[in-house]
Amino acid sequence: MAKPIIMPKFGFTQEESTIVQWLKKEGDRVEKGDPIVEVTTDKINMEVEAPADGILGGIRYQEGETVPVTEVIAYILAEGEEAPEPEEKVAAAAPPAPAAKEAPPVAERRAVSATPVAQRIAEAKGVDLAAVPGSGPGGKITREDVERYLAERGAPPEDGKRRATPAARRVAREHGIDLSTVPGSGPRGRVQEADVLAAVERLAVEAPAPPPAPAGISAGPVVIPLEGMRKTIAERMQTSAQQAPHIMFTLDVDMSEAIAFREYANQRIAEGQPRISMTAVLVKACAWALRQHPMVNSHFDGERILVQNEVNIGVAVALEEGLIVPVVHQADQKGLMQIGAEVADLARRAREGRLRPDDLTGGTFTISNLGMFGVDHFTAIINPPEVAILAVGRIAKRFVPDENDQPVARPMMTITLSADHRVLDGAMAAGFLATLRQALEMPSTILL
């Protein structure tokens, strides 16, 4: 029996992914677990694996097409088995009315198979799909077929749908390059990053220098479309800020013992291994505090509070495209050494674009640390469906009173908890912060 290959859902709010490249072709024999297609979301590129042994067939979407999550994109077939017919078979036209003498007989009309994207473009452009030759499996009409049909008749293809890699699209956006003007050197004319960079260089040579703006008149703004990761962040943060009543709590932590503890732990790490960062210490301390205050380790779905059994801590990582939050799963059950290595690995793979789906899902609490940028104090917006987020500032020497009320310079760090007031009251949030400060100021007795 044919086993469907489903476009997976990698994130809580993800609705669609784009097919980057088919790693196997129609008719290839594959084994369970073989990577068969690379897809991209607004955050990461991922490989989708074969769900079973068999033959790849019934490919429904081509490279560059955007597919809703949970949609069937292909099948794994047994020897000699045929793929199921797509549900989206459409009639090319309604049967002609009896009075319309010029209409062809019903027998001459044919039902055609087309991808959803091809159907959408055809409908928007007024194209009769019965007149479009299909190049897909079993004569299925793809987006490229419709665009080719339009191009032959002098109509432009649908805007923004030129076949291009995600990196090529990013560079094109940054430099204001129209991808339809860039010759593609990749498979089937796909535009590569190098093609766009070459176009940028040509424009730099060919374009005349712009005339200077008249005195007192400034140049116009650079328009950056809100799309991809930036659009997702904007939508999620707007939703959180509008729906979750944020309440903030701030306190200062003496980091003297935490610094000494981290230095001691780093001395025990083998040469060549990643050093333990202060973020790793924070993850371990937060995991310990969350176990003492389980309500902070909750999700809220608008109607119910879901207290999570696992302590999965997200660590915000800044990328050029925006913010991404990989997750340290079951952080309360891991030692500091393991957390340190995992945090370093997640941050590295995030910057390389090599995170896996499970690296980005399941978070129950988030840490956003801007101390390395010299920020003393800030507040963060909660990452739904979580109910709290910790904002961490830099460690800096400040004068504080000692046990004899004498001023003494200590390495102090300001932390701010943003809490969803629908779930957490002031006493709950303050109690969590007090426990967290205890863990950071006395780490040797708690974090080992």
Q: Based on the domain organization, do 303 and 261 belong to the same domain?
A: yes
CA angle 333, 334, 336 (to 5 degrees): 140
For 139, which DSSP code? Answer: G
Q: Based on the domain organization, do 290 and 395 belong to the same domain?
A: yes
Q: Based on the domain organization, do 263 and 357 belong to the same domain?
A: yes
- Distance separating alpha carbons of residues 215 and 348, to the nearest angstrom: 47
Of the candidates 77, 110, 135, which is a domain's last residue? 77
- Let me know if residue 214 belongs to a domain: no
pLDDT given for residue 447 in this prediction: 59
Structure tokens at 59: 């490919």
What's the distance, Cα to Cα, between the start and end of the chain in Å? 53
Q: By the 8 A CB rule, do 48 and 4 touch?
A: no
The active-site residue, picked from 175, 246, 293, 421, is 421
Closest C-alpha to 158, from 139, 176, 144: 144
The verdict on pTM exceeding 0.85 is no
pLDDT given for residue 111 in this prediction: 60
Of the candidates 176, 206, 236, which is a domain's last residue? 206
- Let me know if residue 235 belongs to a domain: no
- Let me know if residue 232 belongs to a domain: no
How many domains is the chain partitioned into structurally?
Answer: 4
Of the candidates 190, 206, 222, which is a domain's last residue? 206
- Let me know if residue 238 belongs to a domain: no
In a 13 Å sphere around the CA of 268, the CA atoms on its Cβ side amount to 8
- Distance separating alpha carbons of residues 418 and 180, to the nearest angstrom: 45
Q: Is the pLDDT of residue 21 over 50?
A: yes
Q: Summarize the confidence of residues 372-382 as an average pLDDT.
A: 94
- Let me know if residue 231 belongs to a domain: no
Residue 425: CATH number of its domain: 3.30.559.10
- Tell me the CA distances in angstroms from 391 to 28, 101, 128, one per residue in order: 50, 73, 56
- Least confident stretch, 48-57, 286-295, 349-358, 387-396: 349-358
Q: Based on the domain organization, do 295 and 376 belong to the same domain?
A: yes
Phi-psi region of 348 (alpha: psi -120 to 50; beta: other; left: phi over 0): alpha
Q: Based on the domain organization, do 182 and 148 belong to the same domain?
A: no
The residue behind tokens 């030759």 is: 133
- Let me know if residue 217 belongs to a domain: no
pLDDT given for residue 43 in this prediction: 65
Q: By the 8 A CB rule, do 115 and 136 touch?
A: yes
pLDDT given for residue 90 in this prediction: 38
More confident residue, 307 or 200: 307
Q: Based on the domain organization, do 332 and 269 belong to the same domain?
A: yes
Residue 133: CATH number of its domain: 4.10.320.10
Residue 339: pLDDT band with limits 50, 70, 90: very high
- Render pLDDT for 97-142 as a digit per residue (tens, 0 to 9): 444 444 444 334 446 777 766 776 777 667 788 888 887 766 778 7
Q: Based on the domain organization, do 66 and 42 belong to the same domain?
A: yes
- Let me know if residue 83 belongs to a domain: no
pLDDT given for residue 413 in this prediction: 96
Active site residue 421: yes
Q: Based on the domain organization, do 14 and 137 belong to the same domain?
A: no
Q: Is the pLDDT of residue 381 over 90?
A: yes
Residue 280: pLDDT band with limits 50, 70, 90: very high
Helix, strand, or coil here: 195?
helix
Q: Based on the domain organization, do 322 and 177 belong to the same domain?
A: no
Q: Based on the domain organization, do 365 and 255 belong to the same domain?
A: yes
Residue 28: CATH number of its domain: 2.40.50.100
Q: Is the pLDDT of residue 226 over 80?
A: no
- Render pLDDT for 398-407 as a digit per residue (tens, 0 to 9): 999 988 889 9
For 354, which DSSP code? Answer: -
- Let me know if residue 72 belongs to a domain: yes
Q: Based on the domain organization, do 327 and 383 belong to the same domain?
A: yes
- Side chain identity at 180, as an amino acid letter? S
Structure tokens at 25: 């072709």
Q: Based on the domain organization, do 172 and 274 belong to the same domain?
A: no
pLDDT given for residue 318 in this prediction: 84
Q: Is the pLDDT of residue 152 over 90?
A: no
Phi-psi region of 30 (alpha: psi -120 to 50; beta: other; left: phi over 0): beta
- Distance separating alpha carbons of residues 53 and 34, to the nearest angstrom: 9
- Tell me the CA distances in angstroms from 270 to 51, 267, 339, 341, one per residue in order: 39, 8, 15, 12
pLDDT given for residue 435 in this prediction: 95
Residue 5: pLDDT band with limits 50, 70, 90: very high
- Render pLDDT for 24-74 as a digit per residue (tens, 0 to 9): 999 999 998 888 998 877 667 778 889 999 999 999 988 888 888 888 999
Residue 188 structural domain: 166-206
